[in-house]
Structure formats: structure tokens, C-alpha cells
Structure 1
């Protein structure tokens, strides 16, 4: 049941991302990359979406109301994206926020996608990006399964 929800959500999200990329290309975005880099970027987006969707499933299961579940997911909707390298380079942030920005899941994913699509150096970001995705997906899956089983029994 849960896996079907995750796969359905993944498909909807990938369709949305395709539409956003289409609009970006129409608006003038011209990536300087190869088809292989595009494929790698798409794979990373799919993996990250898969991981975040499993975490969202957990929040949906433990939230008492839809609003409560939404509130639980705010860390992934607001806090992590805005304290990552998405808008500002971490080296320009204050020490505490910089440390957090450098070691949270969104930064390596964003840096890798930026590098793949714009041809900027990516260093070891892909390794950390994939590792974060695997950890989040595994934690989300195991946690969701435990909560679902507990709710089904009790």
C-alpha cells in the first residue's frame, strides 16, 4: 500500500519536474551539458524525490491531522532548502549556519545538480548526494513500515 503511494507520488513529481524544465527551456535556460549529465541529473532528482517521499509518508502516518502532517514536513519544505547552497554559498554564511548548510542533505544534491546541468565542478558532492538519498529513503521506508504496522495492529 505504502510503496504504491510512493511510486504514484514519484511519477507525479517527475511529470511536474519535466514541465518545469520545459518552461525553463522556453524561458531561455540553456544548460551546457551532455545527454549523459542530463540522465545523471534526472536520476538524482528521481532518487531524491523517492527519499523525500518516504519521509513524507512517515509524516502523513504520524500526523494526527492533515495540517499536522504538513507541519511535520516543513523541515523538508522550508528549513533545509533555505539553509542549503541553493540561494547562497555556504562560505558566505555565519559559522553555525554554514556548518549546518554544508552537512545537510540538500546542499550536495543541489551542488551536484548545478554541476551536472551547468558544467561547474562537483567534487565529491555526488557521493554525498546519493548517500543522503539512500539514508533518507531507508530511514523513511523502515519508519513508515513500522508506524503502518503498529497502526494496523492497534
Structure 2
């Protein structure tokens, strides 16, 4: 495997933590594609997006100012770390509620169409994050024929 971890703007190399988050995102997408139920697929797709967001947040850490801050979700922090991902953050913040319901056992809240849509969007988001970070990515989703 080559070392695809140089920032495309010529910045510092990406840490192993960032690369691990991106690898986890791709693994979650593979799990989403193979999930046995719409709820399983939806949860895995959302987790893929969350792992990719974690990659951006790890690559662009914010300085601590010494004050205690309230805990904020990755979707709240993402637009500050990478403003061009603000629309994605809003999209996945909304889907987080449905993911939580599915994880809590309310599997009927997620339809097959919901899962399919989220998988496609998560795959696009992971690809966008990889592009921003300068990591050559590839879709984990099978091509429809």
C-alpha cells in the first residue's frame, strides 16, 4: 500500500489516527451495504459518516482556550473545522435522531429506502472527506447494474 497521507495543499502528513478514522468509515460503509435489515444498514451508514467526520476533526484540531465548554456533537463541530462540509453536517445531524431510534430497538422507524439513501449519501460524504484530506478513496459500494 502506498502512503496516501499527504494533505493535497502540501500540508503536514496525516496522522495514523486520521487514517484509522477514514479506514473505519470505509469498513462501516461495507457493513452498511451488507447489513441484514434496513435499521442495521442505516446505523452502519451513519456511523461511516461519523467516522469520516472524526477524521476531519482529528486532522484539524481546535486549540483549547482553557475554559470548560459544553460537549458538542461532531456535527456541530464539523462546520467550524471545515466550513465546506456545513451542509453535510446538517444532513447527518438530522439523521442522527433516526439512527438513535434504530439503535434503541425502534427498527420500524427506518425503511429500506431510508437505509439506501443514507448509504449513498454517506459514501458521497466519505469520498468528499477523503478528497479534502488528500487521501485517494474508492467507493465501497457495489455498482448497480
TM-score for the superposition, normalised by structure 1: 0.40
More helix by percentage? 1
Name the structure, 1 or 2, with higher relative contact order (CA <8 Å, separation 6+): 2
Structure exhibiting the larger radius of gyration computed from Cα positions: 1
